[in-house]
């Protein structure tokens, strides 16, 4: 599995193993030191402090005995206060000793000291009570020597026994602490030796494995550097050819850019001319529309004239009818006038005046007949003129219709021309825009070609540097191979 590990993984594994062993050694050392420190603290905090408290018991007992003797000799109440204070200190020290130990044997020793002190205190209280009476000093002193001194000696023996016991325990604790310290030192040294051996084995394994892996990597580097050198030669040759081709392409793109600009200018002029043509077509369309409207108005007027002429013909017919009636009236009047003249001639002298009137009526009827004939002639002429005018008007109306249709066709043609010109203008504008975009694209291509040419030059330089680097890498791999082989021989 180690063959699949990388160089960094192997170094990391060796470093991790070394750190783990160091941590284990440190943990064991800390545990051993803590054990030694705990043993030492136990000796100091329990046994040494107990010896100090035992000495304090001696001192407190001496104060109590001294204060009691002083009271018995002087009968001074102040010494009783000292006795009580010393007793309180003695009690407090005994309570500390009792709470410090957990083994039953030590607790029994402390209880014996307590009982001896209580026994001595009861006896002392009795003697002090006796001294408070009128008892003599000799009697009190004798009782003190006979009763209190043996009890005091017993109390001191108990305290001394406790001191001896604690001194022995202190010595044993010191010896155990020293042994624990020695064991911890020996164990730490052993762990350090084991750690050094394991670290040496790990270092040897990593050195052997890494040397083998580096040797294999160097072989790969040698083969890769040879391939890289060959590829660099090919790349340098290709880069030179590519640089030549890029120069030719750049020249062609420059010419294409000039041509695109000329096409753009021509398309712009065509678009301008197309816009002018479209404007003229729009003006012609408006003129044709105006002419078509005028022809429509003329047609309406011609239709109105035809209507009036037809109305005039109808009225002429009506006038002819009236003239017929007038002509008939004139003929009847003429006949009546002739009859009246005949009757007037038969009447003699009386009918002359009536004959004159009848003659005048006949003359008037003749004139009316003549006028009726003239009017009829005028009406016929008017009727003929009206017919001619109606026929001419109808011909004009047909001509107006034909002209209107022709104007409509001209209008449609002009609209079609305007649409075509508009389409041509839009196409020319699109050609102009496309040509401008093409010119911009050609400029960008020209810039890109220049960048590619620059990149090709840089690639050519880089190929030379790569070739040089590959040569140096080949030499370095040979040197590293010699170094690894020499290290392996050593």
Enter the DSSP assignment of 229: H
Highest mean pLDDT among 90-104, 128-142, 144-158, 275-289: 144-158
Distance between start and end Cα atoms, the chain: 27
- Say how far apart CA 391 and CA 379 lie, in whole Å: 18
Where do you find CATH 1.10.287.950 in the chain? 248-458
pLDDT value at 360 more than 70: yes
Specify the long-range contacts of residues 467-472, CB closer than 8 Å, at least 24 apart. 467/229, 467/232, 467/233, 467/236, 470/225, 470/226, 470/228, 470/229, 470/232, 471/229
Q: What is the mean pLDDT of residues 413-424?
A: 74
- What local confidence, expressed as pLDDT, does residue 121 receive? 82
- Contact (Cβ atoms closer than 8 angstroms) between residue 417 and residue 285: no
Where do you find CATH 1.20.120.1730 in the chain? 2-216
pLDDT value at 217 more than 70: no
Q: Around Cβ 352, how many Cβ atoms within 10 Å? A: 12
CATH number of the domain located at residue range(s) 2-216 in this protein: 1.20.120.1730
- Say how far apart CA 200 and CA 18 lie, in whole Å: 10
Encoded tokens for 344:
């007037």
- In this prediction the pTM is 0.34
pLDDT value at 132 more than 50: yes
- Say how far apart CA 436 and CA 443 lie, in whole Å: 10
Encoded tokens for 180:
């624990």
- What local confidence, expressed as pLDDT, does residue 482 receive? 66
- Say how far apart CA 158 and CA 150 lie, in whole Å: 12
Q: What is the mean pLDDT of residues 254-277?
A: 72
pLDDT value at 317 more than 70: yes
- Say how far apart CA 240 and CA 463 lie, in whole Å: 10
- What local confidence, expressed as pLDDT, does residue 46 receive? 66
- Contact (Cβ atoms closer than 8 angstroms) between residue 309 and residue 390: yes
Enter the DSSP assignment of 48: I
- Say how far apart CA 364 and CA 372 lie, in whole Å: 12
* Class of 248-458 in CATH: mainly alpha
CA 17, 19, 25, 30 dihedral sign is negative
The percentage of the chain sitting over the pLDDT mark of 90, rounded to a whole number, equals 0
pLDDT value at 264 more than 60: yes
* Reported confidence tier of residue 218, pLDDT bands at 50, 70, 90: low
pLDDT value at 349 more than 50: yes
Q: What is the mean pLDDT of residues 464-486?
A: 69
* Reported confidence tier of residue 7, pLDDT bands at 50, 70, 90: low
Total length of the chain: 490
The better pLDDT of the pair 193, 34 is held by 193
Q: What is the mean pLDDT of residues 376-402?
A: 77
For the chain, give the mean pLDDT: 75
- Say how far apart CA 367 and CA 374 lie, in whole Å: 10
Q: What is the mean pLDDT of residues 149-156?
A: 84
DSSP string, 85-115: HHHHHHHHHHHHHHHH--SHHHHHHHHHHHH
- What local confidence, expressed as pLDDT, does residue 1 receive? 43
- Say how far apart CA 62 and CA 370 lie, in whole Å: 200
Encoded tokens for 468:
């040089």
- What local confidence, expressed as pLDDT, does residue 186 receive? 80
């Amino acid at each position: 599995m180690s063959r699949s590990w990388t160089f960094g993984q192997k170094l990391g594994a060796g470093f991790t193993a070394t750190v783990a062993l160091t941590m284990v050694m440190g943990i064991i050392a800390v545990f051993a030191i803590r054990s030694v420190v705990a043993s030492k603290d136990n000796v100091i905090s329990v046994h040494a402090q107990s010896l100090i408290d035992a000495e304090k018991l001696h001192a407190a007992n001496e104060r109590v005995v001294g204060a009691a003797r002083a009271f018995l000799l002087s009968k001074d109440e102040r010494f009783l206060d000292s006795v009580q204070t010393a007793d309180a200190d003695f009690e407090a020290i005994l309570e500390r000793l009792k709470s410090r130990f957990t083994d039953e044997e030590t607790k029994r020793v402390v209880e014996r000291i307590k009982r001896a002190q209580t026994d001595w205190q009861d006896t002392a209280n009795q003697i002090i009570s006796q001294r408070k009476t009128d008892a003599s000093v000799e009697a009190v002193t004798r009782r003190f020597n006979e009763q209190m001194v043996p009890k005091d000696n017993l109390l001191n023996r108990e305290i001394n026994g406790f001191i001896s016991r604690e001194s022995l325990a202190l010595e044993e604790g010191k010896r155990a602490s020293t042994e624990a310290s020695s064991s911890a030192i020996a164990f730490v040294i052993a762990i350090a030796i084991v750690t050094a051996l394991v670290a040496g084995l790990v270092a040897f394994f990593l050195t052997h494995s890494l040397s083998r892996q580096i040797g294999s990597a160097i072989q790969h580097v040698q083969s890769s550097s040879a391939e890289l050198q060959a590829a660099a030669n090919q790349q340098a040759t290709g880069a030179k050819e590519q640089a030549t081709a890029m120069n030719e392409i750049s020249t062609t793109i420059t010419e294409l850019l000039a041509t695109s600009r000329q096409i753009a200018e021509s398309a712009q002029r065509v678009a301008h001319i197309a816009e002018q043509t479209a404007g003229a077509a729009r003006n012609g369309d408006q003129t044709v529309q105006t002419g078509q409207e005028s022809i429509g108005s003329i047609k309406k007027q011609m239709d109105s004239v035809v209507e009036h002429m037809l109305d005039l013909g109808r009225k002429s017919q009506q006038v002819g009818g009236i003239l017929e009636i007038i002509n008939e009236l004139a003929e009847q009047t003429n006949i009546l006038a002739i009859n009246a003249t005949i009757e007037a001639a038969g009447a003699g002298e009386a009918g002359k005046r009536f004959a004159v009137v009848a003659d005048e009526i006949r003359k008037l009827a003749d004139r009316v007949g003549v006028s009726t004939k003239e009017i009829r002639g005028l009406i016929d002429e008017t009727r003929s003129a009206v017919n001619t005018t109606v026929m001419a008007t109808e011909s004009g109306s047909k001509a107006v219709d034909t002209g209107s249709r022709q104007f409509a066709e001209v209008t449609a043609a002009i609209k079609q021309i305007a649409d075509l010109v508009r389409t041509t203008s839009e196409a020319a504008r699109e050609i102009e825009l496309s040509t401008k975009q093409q010119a911009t694209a050609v400029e960008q291509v020209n810039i890109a070609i220049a960048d590619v040419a620059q990149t090709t030059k840089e690639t050519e330089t880089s190929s030379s540097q790569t070739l040089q680097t590959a040569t140096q890498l080949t030499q370095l791999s040979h040197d590293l191979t010699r170094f690894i082989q020499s290290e392996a021989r050593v």
